[in-house]
A and B are shown apart, each in its own frame.
Chain A
Amino acid sequence: MLRSFDTNPELAIVCDQIAKKFYYTPHRIQSVREAFIRAIRRQLPEKRDPIFALEPFDMTVRRGEVVALIGPNGSGKSTALRLLAGIYAPTSGQIKLRGRSAAVIELGAGFNNELPGKANIQLYGTLMGMGRAVIRERYNEIVEFADIGPYINAPVKMYSSGMRARLAFAVTICLQPDILFLDEVLSVGDLGFRKKCAQRLHSFIDKGGTLVMATHDLEDIRRFASHVIWFEHGRVLMEGPTEQVLKEYTAPDVEEGEA
């Protein structure tokens, strides 16, 4: 599968059996007492059971395709997104991406509260690996899209959460990535801004942009996604065309089974 990625330029993302395990304390001695006992018994710190494991899964996304990740809280959606965005290193398996990717995982992480919106645009942009010249060039576009009025000159600590979301999303989308990862970010912001985001995302996709998003909003999924992956307890329970998966996902007996 990874080999086909190299020869097929239409593929944007390929995951080959990627898995992730989290340990509360990976191979780490927690106290002096434990270290002392282990030293006497000549034992190495034991590897504890992972507190969360994302089971190996495959994924193939074409250029211009939109994939939605669904599932209850703690099912592994965000972990999967972070693996794709290169924030976490997979425990096993391999991921290949074509083009520049950007992720909005925690809204406004990377903003500095003391600095005004203006300076934060620069900082946030460079954090995502953009050059200052490019950011300066798109600066007006970003400010216009965020549309937060005079607040752009105020320190970010004075922003409402909606305004933070607007600015973060504006910077990310205006820097024109090839692949975009969104974690539950479309649901913030007022109606007007959500409409604007939707428009912008549609034009992003039309231009060949690839989108992977984790969300609980079924309406957003129907509007954007052509393919859905359903996570449950770190496993891919089902994947396929949007309507097919959503039909199962919203079926009443499954809801009961969850509870």
Chain B
Amino acid sequence: MDVQVYPIKRTTLGHLRELWAYRELVAGLVSRNLKIKYQDSILGFVWALLNPLLTVLVLTIVFSRIVRLDVEQYWAFLLSGYFVWHFITQSISAATFLLVQHAEISRSIAYPQEASIVAAAISRLIEFAMEMTLILLALLIFRHHGQLPIGYLAVPWLVVIMFIMVLAVMLPLATLSVYYRDVYHGLPLVLTMFFYITPVFYPAVFVTGPLRVIYFCNPLVHLLTAFHKACYEGVLPSLWACAGLTAGGLVALLLGYVFFNHFKAAYAEIL
């Protein structure tokens, strides 16, 4: 029989192994998240689409009819970036209340608590994958692209990068939210600000002036630009940008995970 020693001293690799051992829990939580969200709902998945779609509609009317932005087929441009932004905000917001939501479990069962965070991100990712498929199809059906563009090939990689970056923010944010409720209250403000300094409703090439250098320090600028290139323009995004985002994202994820694990043992008693 194996021997368990407390307090547990694990390396990052050890934590990863533990999470892997609980992979069936993650899968179970993902299916729970999706089931609960859509059970007792007649429209089901349509709701997930409707909310961002409505925003896209409003923004399209505002920026192509009222305030004219010099972007051809503005609706297509918005579709290729807005749903990415929607995924990012939804997942990151969830990180600020997930551990509090699972407090009761943490106080009575010892389990790797990052499972609930990873599961939340994955269940959102499944919805996003469906949304993205529909968008890419819509851009073809409504003749934005005459034929299947080569840029679509890059989309799966971009989605992976997006997932890594979001998870890298979610983990440390969840830790902070255990100690400070301010995180929960303050995040919407920060996200609103980022909505304007990230090219969601305008292309990044519009940005000029002396603050340009600072503007391009935001990694989301490069992620959104890559999505615009692949989906809206239909060309392959810059390989350097993608490689840089992947590498940076992985480093950030590793640091975020180390941060999360450093405080993990205390969550059960503080929550």
A residues neighboring B (CB under 8 Å): 5-6, 9, 22, 26, 28, 82-90, 94-101, 103-106, 109-110, 112, 114-115, 119, 122-123, 126-129, 131-132, 178
CB-defined contacts of A127 to chain B, threshold 8 Å: 25, 105, 109, 111
B215 within 8 A of A: no
- Neighbour of B1 across the interface among A26, A99, A126, A129, CB < 8 A: A99
Distance in angstroms from A247 CB to nearest chain B CB is: 33
Q: How far is the CA of A141 from the CA of B111 in the complex (A)?
A: 24
User: Please, could you name 5 A-B residue pairs with CB atoms under 8 Å apart, sorted by A?
Assistant: A86-B110, A97-B4, A100-B1, A109-B105, A114-B39
Count class of interface residues, chain B: 20 to 34
- Neighbour of A89 across the interface among B6, B21, B39, B108, CB < 8 A: B6
Interface contact B36-A112, CB-CB below 8 Å: yes
- Neighbour of A129 across the interface among B8, B21, B32, CB < 8 A: B21
Which 4 pairs from chain A and chain B are nearest by CB? A89-B265, A105-B108, A86-B110, A109-B108
Distance in angstroms from A51 CB to nearest chain B CB is: 11
- Neighbour of A132 across the interface among B24, B29, B111, CB < 8 A: B24
Q: Which residue of A lies closest to B269 (CB)?
A: A88
Q: How far is the CA of A94 from the CA of B21 in the complex (A)?
A: 24
Extra A-B contacts (18), CB below 8 Å, given A82-B268, A89-B7, A95-B7: A5-B3, A22-B269, A83-B6, A86-B8, A86-B110, A87-B107, A89-B265, A94-B6, A96-B4, A97-B3, A106-B104, A106-B108, A123-B29, A127-B25, A127-B109, A127-B111, A129-B22, A178-B1
Interface contact A106-B36, CB-CB below 8 Å: no
Q: How far is the CA of A254 from the CA of B48 in the complex (A)?
A: 63
CB-defined contacts of A94 to chain B, threshold 8 Å: 5-7
Interface contact B111-A129, CB-CB below 8 Å: yes
CB-defined contacts of B21 to chain A, threshold 8 Å: 129
